[in-house]
Each structure stands twice: as structure tokens, then as C-alpha cells.
Amino acid sequence: MVRFIDLCSGIGGGRLGLENNGFQCVAFSEILPHSISAYKSFYDTRNEKELGDLTQLNIHDIPDSEILIAGFPCQSYSIQGLRKGLDDERGQIIFHIRDILKEKKIKYFILENVKGLVNINKGKTFQFIVNMLENTGYKLYFQILKSNDYGLPQKRERVYFVGIREDLPDTDFEFPQPYQKTSQLKDFLIDEDEKYIYDNFDWLSKYMNNKYNYGKYDLNEILSEDYLVVDTRQSDMRFFRDYIPTLRTGRSGILYVKNGKLRKLSGKESLLLQGFNKKIFDKSKNYADSILLQQTGNAMSVNVIQEIGKSLIKNLKNNGDLQ
């Protein structure tokens, strides 16, 4: 069995992606109470080590594993944040991950962060992280992948790192190729609860009739197109077809048309849009939408991690870690 530890786990998007390849989680680390609660309700963690705050843990308490996966905090690198990078305490989590890799001699790792990490500080921060991980003893691969290239109708771009310990026989890795979309947006927008019907047209009209949009849109025309996505931000109003804009923490204003009515995107639907399965969709019914929308905005896209894990299977077999 290929084992992994799930650091900065959130609600387990990375975990589920690796589990879908038959890998086994042996430990997880998260500090946000709402995320810990959801994680434990979504997955059976009874035989796993709960590590808590990874900046405070004793590295020797971490169980042995073949893979480390972490969505290390992105707020320091996001366009939505202050982009303080490594000067932010959250940005320094990467150093603790480095120490764990070095001390535990973990064979493989998968890391994820926002696309903005690549160009913050004119690329110097990104290059520093690349050099640091390589100097820790890994052959490193990185690429920006889009969630909507892997079966999820969400325009989400993230940078992914894959590291393979440089002393292993097979250190060659290729990121997964995009595959043909097999699902339509309507397959993900399945919440039928009437509480999500949106009828605050006075609020919507302030976007339709401001100086940027006045006369451009007709409400009846908008309501005539099922699964048209409406996104409102500040004074901006945008429309999407076939996919939704990137889910992110604190994002509000995503609406869509269904059966001639506007609906708010529900927290449960946001789980599906990140690749979480129907089983977790059903388990999430007791969580407030504000919490779920925040958690899914921070989560990894399950499908993308699943495909990265699938690409890593060749290395696992060639290096004797998988039969």
C-alpha cells in the first residue's frame, strides 16, 4: 500500500485525489477548526495520526510514508491577498514542509499553490522555493494546470509541484495531459433547495444599471438561458457559459440561471465543482454555505490531484514502491 501524509489538508481535496488511486492516508495536519470538523466527518480518520499545527509538531512523531501532499497556504501569494510572499508568516510554512521532507526522507511530494506564486516579486520568490526544494535532494517538476482541463467546469489555475527524491532509480515525471471534458456544468448544479432561488433584483439591478453596464443587459434575456453563470464583483458583472469562475475564499456573487430563475451557488455544489463526490456532497448537508464556500475555495481540485497521482504510479512501480 502506498502511504501518504496530508499536510495543510483543508477539507481533503488532495487526500481524495490520492485515495482515488488506491493510496492510503496515514496522517493529516490542519489548524482551522471548521476544516478539521469537516475533514473528520468526510473521511474515516480513526486509525490516522492527527498532527495538528505542523509548525509546532515533533517531526519524529510523523508516521512513515511514501508521499507528502500539501496545499501550503496561498494567501501570501494570491492576487486577492497582500502578496507578502515569504515575508508573511503563512508564506513560511514551506520551510516547515522542507524540514519534514529532509528529516523523514520522503520519496515523493505533491505541492499546490496559486498561479500568482510564479510571478510574485518578479519571480524571485518562486525561484527561491524551486532552488530550496531541489537543494533538499529532489528532482523537481512544476506546471500550471487548469481544473477545467480535467473534467471540472471551473476556470481554476494552480501551480503544482512534484518532487522525486534524486537518489531513486526513476526520477522522470510527466504531468498529466488534459482530457476531453465528459461532464457538463448542469451535472454539477444539482442542488434543488428552494432557499437558493435568488429574487433580490434590486441588488442585481445596481450592477446592470451602473455606468459600466447601463443598457447592455436585459434581465429577461438573462433568465431565458439556463445554466448561464452570472458573477458580480465590485462594480463588475460577468457572464460565463459551460464553466464557473474560480472558487475562492470570500468570493460571493456567483449566480446561475435554472428553470428561468436565478439561483445562488450552494456550498454543496461548490464541493462537486472541486471534484468531491456525491457521498461527501450528502455528508456536507449540516454545514453552513458560508463555511463550505470558504473551504472549497481553499481546497485542491480532486480531479487534478487524481491525475497527478495516476502519472506518479509509473515511478512508484519502477522504484519498487508499488507492485
Residue 74 a catalytic site member: yes
Lowest mean pLDDT: which of 41-50, 91-100, 124-133?
91-100
Averaged over 300-310, what is the pLDDT? 98
Provide the CATH number for the domain around residue 134: 3.40.50.150
User: Mean pLDDT of all residues in the chain?
Assistant: 91
Q: Which of 193-202, 249-258, 286-295, 299-308 has the lowest mean pLDDT?
A: 249-258
Residues 52 and 171 both lie in one domain: yes
Same domain, 144 and 209: no
The reply to whether 128 and 18 lie within a common domain is yes
The reply to whether 280 and 303 lie within a common domain is no
Q: Give a yes or no: residue 56 inside a domain.
A: yes
**Which tens digit of pLDDT belongs to each residue from 158-215?**
999 999 999 999 999 999 999 866 679 999 999 999 999 998 888 888 888 888 888 8
Each residue's pLDDT tens digit, 55-110: 899 999 999 999 999 998 755 554 444 445 455 555 578 999 999 999 999 999 99
Q: How many Cα atoms within 13 Å fall on the side-chain side of residue 187?
A: 13
282 and 313 in a single domain? The answer is: no
The confidence score (pLDDT) of residue 75 equals 55
The percent of residues above 90 in pLDDT, for the chain, comes to 74
Give the pLDDT score at 251: 65
User: Is residue 19 in a domain?
Assistant: yes
Nearest Cα residue to 298 out of 246, 253, 261 = 246
Q: Is residue 323 part of a domain?
A: no
Question: What local confidence, expressed as pLDDT, does residue 174 receive?
Answer: 98
- In a shared domain, residues 280 and 298: no
Q: Do residues 30 and 113 both lie within one domain?
A: yes
Domain extent, residue 236, equals 185-287
In a domain, 173, yes or no: yes
CA distance 185 to 244: 8
Q: What is the pLDDT of residue 85?
A: 47
Report pLDDT for 87. Answer: 55
Q: What pLDDT is attached to residue 10?
A: 95
Quick one: pLDDT at residue 77?
52
Residues 228 and 257 in one domain: yes
For position 30, what pLDDT does the model report? 96
pTM (predicted TM-score): 0.93
Highest mean pLDDT among 128-137, 173-182, 205-214, 242-251: 128-137
Catalytic-role residue among 11, 74, 255, 305: 74
Return the number of other C-beta atoms located less than 10 Å from residue 277's C-beta.
Answer: 14
Task: For residue 133, give the nearest of 170, 169, 159 by alpha carbon.
Answer: 159
Number of domains within the chain:
2
Both 102 and 171 in one domain: the answer is yes
Q: How confident is the model at residue 138 (pLDDT cuts 50, 70, 90)?
A: very high
Whether the pLDDT of residue 314 is over 70: the answer is yes
Percent of the chain with pLDDT over 70: 92
Give yes or no for a contact between 82 and 88, defined as CB atoms under 8 angstroms apart: yes
Q: Are residues 310 and 189 in the same domain?
A: no
Check whether residue 278 and residue 299 sit in a common domain.
no
Both 261 and 193 in one domain: the answer is yes
What secondary structure, in 3-state letters, does the chain show?
CCEEEEECCCCCHHHHHHHCCCCEEEEECCCCHHHHHHHHHHCCCCCCEECCCCCCCCHHHCCCCCEEEECCCCCCCCCCCCCCHHHCCHHHHHHHHHHHHHHHCCCEEEEEEEHHHHCHHHHHHHHHHHHHHHHCCEEEEEEEEEHHHCCCCEECEEEEEEEEECCCCCCCCCCCCCCCCCCCHHHCCCCCCHHHECCCHHHHHHHHCCCCCCCCCCHHHHHCCCCCEEEEECCEEEEECCCEECCCCCCCCEEEEECCEEEECCHHHHHHHCCCCHHHHHHHHHCCHHHHHHHHHHCCCHHHHHHHHHHHHHHHHHCCCCC
